[in-house]
Amino acid sequence: MTQNEALPDSVVEVVESLEGTYSQNVRAGRHVLTADEPLDVGGNDLGPGPYEYLLAGLGACTSMTVRMYANRKGIKLKRVRVRLAHRKVHATDCADCETKEGLVDEIEREIAFEGELDETITAKLIEIANKCPVHRTLSGEIKIRTKHVPAG
């Protein structure tokens, strides 16, 4: 597969760009993106960092899932805005976490709905947001299987 060919669905390829210490070329399907680290950790800040891409995936999935539901149910939803932040917190500071030692990854997600929506519809949209596929993936058991393949 050449650098210009589209990748199959659900396949992402990340290759160092060689433009800086951490800069990466990211290909997803026919889309090309850049990932990097901020200047303060030695990157060139040429693109979002890995956690920002993770948050973007969750935010996009959340908004798309809510939009699909609203359209299907005829809800007069004008726009969805999702704002996310990631941080690591001490497990001892997390009352509802199963982990009791070390650090826990915490994602804060704020969702704003534009439109004339009552409390019942808003609550239902939040319930649907919590069912987006990426949310379920991040909340469930994940296995990452790594294998070495020859370069080239």
Tell me the average confidence (pLDDT) per consecutive run of 10 residues in the chain, 152 residues long: 73 94 95 96 96 97 98 98 91 72 87 97 98 96 94 82
Q: What pLDDT does residue 2 have?
A: 55
DSSP string, 74-106: T----EEEEEEEEEEEEGGG-TT-S--SSEEEE
Residue 138 structure tokens = 């991040």
Domain boundaries for CATH 3.30.300.20 within the chain: 50-139
Beta bridge partners of 84: 109
Please tell me whether the overall predicted TM-score, pTM, comes out greater than 0.85 for this model.
Answer: yes
Q: What pLDDT does residue 103 have?
A: 79
Q: What pLDDT does residue 100 have?
A: 72
Q: What pLDDT does residue 98 have?
A: 72
Q: Which CATH class, in words, describes the domain spanning 50-139?
A: alpha beta
Residue 146 structure tokens = 């790594």
Q: What pLDDT does residue 69 have?
A: 98
Contact 49, 37 (CB under 8 A): yes
Q: What pLDDT does residue 1 have?
A: 47
Q: What pLDDT does residue 3 have?
A: 58
Residues 87 and 125: their CA atoms lie apart, in Å, by: 25
Q: Strand order of the sheet with strand 12-16?
A: 12-16, 24-28, 31-35
Residues 34 and 17: their CA atoms lie apart, in Å, by: 9
